[in-house]
């Protein structure tokens, strides 16, 4: 087949009509050498433009560098704050570790955890193996080594005996001496913040005089700005109605007020936590009590029994009046738990499982107190119940810890 070749670009066509169209198109083809020539011209043109730009930039380079030097001289760059070392705390009367566990979660580091109960100290050592755990009375500890090294001094120090009411011995009571010892430690090591937690009853104890006397004694050296507040754990992501008083003191030299944590927008209930609980030991009921609880709905108590059984079970107290709603009380999955106590099955303060006729187990107790499932308790069943029942809920302690850390960060 005849081929037609373009003399400009060398392209071949098998049909003459295609060749003719190619020759007569609006933009004629060019030879390869011509194309290279055009490309080279474009490149040289761009190089020329770039060279001109560089020349202009070089003209201003020296003034620009001088301006940068002046700006560096005028602008003071803030020194970066190194926070590799965490904030530290000491806890006395630490118990089974609810408060310390929460503070650790908030980012605080324990340099001393102390309690006079052997099981509590074993529990603390089990869960904080690298911490300094001291068994014994805080009165026997040399705190001089901690002067200037502590950000927070805290503890569940007994407060009620710090009173002159009625037949109480007040400061002659050994527990009252613990409060005096705490104040002595406070004035010695002078932490930036101190915190004491106690039961709600402290606010009304001795007609309110006890807490005022505590604050007055703590502030005898005029070192701290002191405030206190009663917090309900159920408003801070804890599935339990549990009210605790927190007394907080901040060094006056810091001159920053402590801000208590904000309440949560939602409320946790037992349905949120009593699911997939790890198996554990627990107390049990007699068959007679199981039969009674089978007649009581969730959130109910002895008043839900038939009247004849009420009279038989309650005896003379049936006619004495008063609420007594803690007797034969069954928890509800749709509500927070009532305050967990040191024993899950005392007659006046029953805490029956919502769905089964039995007390709560050790791990269920711990779940409601917001301990992690891997937090282990050492000792007999009764000892473990007591450690958990006396603890500050971990989540509430964490929220208090976060507020403390926030304040401490402003002191850096």
Backbone phi, then psi, for 141, in 5-degree steps?
A: -95, 135
Tokens standing for residue 42: 């474009």
Q: Which residue has the tokens 């304040």?
A: 407
Active-site residues: which are they?
A: 159
Q: Is the pLDDT confidence value at 208 over 70? A: yes
Rounded Cα distance between 155 and 143, Å, is 15
Average pLDDT value for the chain: 85
Rounded Cα distance between 159 and 177, Å, is 10
Residue-wise pLDDT for 23-75, tens only, equals 776 566 655 555 566 667 767 776 676 666 555 545 555 554 555 454 444 33
Q: What pLDDT is attached to residue 195?
A: 98
pTM, rounded to two decimals: 0.77
Mapping DSSP to helix (H, G, I), strand (E, B) and coil, where does residue 38 land? helix
Q: How is domain 278-389 classified at the CATH fold level?
A: DNA Methylase; Chain A, domain 2 (3.90.120)
Q: What pLDDT is attached to residue 166?
A: 37
Q: Is the pLDDT confidence value at 165 over 50? A: no
Rounded Cα distance between 268 and 394, Å, is 14
Mean pLDDT of 266-273: 97
Question: What is the CATH class of 88-269+394-409?
Answer: alpha beta
Q: What pLDDT is attached to residue 412?
A: 86
Per the document, the length of the chain is 412
Rounded Cα distance between 263 and 236, Å, is 6
Rounded Cα distance between 250 and 183, Å, is 14
Q: Is the pLDDT confidence value at 270 over 80? A: yes
Helix (H) or strand (E) holding 92: strand 88-92
Rounded Cα distance between 316 and 312, Å, is 9
Q: What pLDDT is attached to residue 308?
A: 95
Closest CA to 133 of 152, 146, 120: 120
Rounded Cα distance between 117 and 105, Å, is 24
Task: Please tell me the chain's helix, strand, coil percentages from 3-state DSSP, rounded to the nearest 5.
Answer: 45, 15, 45
User: In percent, how much of the chain has pLDDT > 70?
Assistant: 78
Q: What pLDDT is attached to residue 310?
A: 92
Mean pLDDT of 157-184: 66
Closest CA to 374 of 99, 131, 128: 128
Label the pairing between strands 4-5 and 12-13: antiparallel
Rounded Cα distance between 315 and 398, Å, is 44
Backbone phi, then psi, for 230, in 5-degree steps?
A: -100, 125
Mapping DSSP to helix (H, G, I), strand (E, B) and coil, where does residue 141 land? coil
User: In percent, how much of the chain has pLDDT > 90?
Assistant: 63
Rounded Cα distance between 198 and 179, Å, is 12
Tokens standing for residue 135: 């068994």
Q: Which residues contact 2 (CB under 8 A, 6 or more apart)?
A: 14
Q: What pLDDT is attached to residue 60?
A: 53
Q: Is the pLDDT confidence value at 5 over 80? A: no
Backbone phi, then psi, for 323, in 5-degree steps?
A: -75, -60
Q: Hey, which residues does 244 pair with through a beta bridge?
A: 199, 231
Q: What pLDDT is attached to residue 80?
A: 34
Mean pLDDT of 98-114: 98
Residue-wise pLDDT for 368-391, tens only, equals 999 999 999 999 999 999 999 999
DSSP string spanning 354-390?
A: SSSSSB-BHHHHHHHTT--TT----S-HHHHHHHHHT
Q: What pLDDT is attached to residue 162?
A: 60
Mean pLDDT of 3-7: 71
Residue-wise pLDDT for 185-195, tens only, equals 999 999 999 99
Q: Which residue has the tokens 């770039």?
A: 50
Q: What pLDDT is attached to residue 332?
A: 98
CA 203, distance to chain mean position in Å, is 26
CA 248, distance to chain mean position in Å, is 18
Rounded Cα distance between 111 and 149, Å, is 9
CA distances 341 to 158, 288, 365, 375, Å, are: 17, 23, 9, 19
Tokens standing for residue 248: 């907080």
Q: Do domains 88-269+394-409 and 278-389 have the same CATH topology?
A: no
Q: What pLDDT is attached to residue 82?
A: 41
Where along the chain do its domains lie?
Answer: 88-269+394-409, 278-389
Q: Is the pLDDT confidence value at 125 over 70? A: yes
Tokens standing for residue 313: 């079970």
Q: What pLDDT is attached to residue 322?
A: 62
């Amino acid at each position: 087949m005849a081929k037609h070749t373009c003399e400009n670009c060398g392209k071949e066509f098998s049909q003459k009509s295609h060749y003719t169209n190619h020759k007569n198109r609006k933009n004629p083809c060019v030879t390869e050498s011509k194309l290279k020539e055009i490309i080279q011209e474009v490149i040289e043109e761009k190089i020329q433009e770039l060279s001109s730009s560089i020349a202009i930039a070089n003209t201003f380079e020296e003034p620009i560098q001088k301006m940068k030097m002046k700006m560096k001289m005028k602008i003071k760059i803030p020194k970066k704050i190194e926070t590799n070392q965490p904030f530290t705390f000491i806890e006395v009367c630490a118990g089974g570790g609810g408060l310390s566990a929460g503070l650790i979660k908030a980012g605080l580091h324990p340099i001393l955890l102390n309690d006079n109960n052997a099981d509590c100290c074993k529990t603390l050592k089990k869960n904080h193996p690298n911490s300094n755990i001291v068994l014994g009375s805080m009165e026997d500890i040399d705190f001089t080594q901690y002067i200037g090294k502590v950000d927070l001094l805290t503890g569940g120090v007994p407060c009620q005996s710090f009173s002159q009411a009625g037949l109480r011995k007040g400061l002659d009571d050994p527990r009252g001496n613990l409060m005096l010892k705490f104040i002595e430690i406070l004035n010695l090591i002078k932490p930036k913040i101190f915190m004491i937690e106690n039961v709600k009853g402290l606010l009304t104890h001795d007609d309110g005089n006890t807490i005022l006397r505590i604050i007055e004694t703590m502030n005898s050296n005029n070192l701290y700005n002191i405030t206190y507040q009663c917090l309900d754990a159920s408003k801070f992501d804890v599935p339990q109605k549990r009210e605790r008083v927190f007394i907080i003191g901040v060094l006056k030299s810091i001159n920053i007020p402590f801000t208590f944590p904000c309440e949560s927008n939602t409320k946790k209930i037992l349905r949120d936590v009593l699911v997939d609980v790890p198996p554990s030991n627990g107390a049990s009921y007699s068959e007679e009590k199981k039969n009674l609880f089978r007649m009581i709905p969730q959130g109910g108590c002895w008043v839900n029994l038939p009247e004849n059984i009420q009279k038989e079970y309650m005896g003379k107290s049936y006619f004495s009046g008063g609420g007594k709603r803690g007797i034969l009380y069954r928890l509800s999955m749709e509500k927070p738990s009532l305050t967990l106590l040191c024993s899950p099955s005392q007659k006046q303060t029953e805490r029956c499982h919502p769905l089964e006729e039995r007390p709560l187990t050790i791990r269920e107790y711990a779940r409601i107190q917001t301990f992690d499932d891997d937090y282990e308790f050492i000792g007999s069943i009764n000892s473990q119940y007591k450690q958990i029942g006396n603890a500050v809920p971990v989540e509430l302690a964490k929220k208090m810890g976060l507020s403390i850390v926030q304040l401490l960060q402003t002191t850096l």
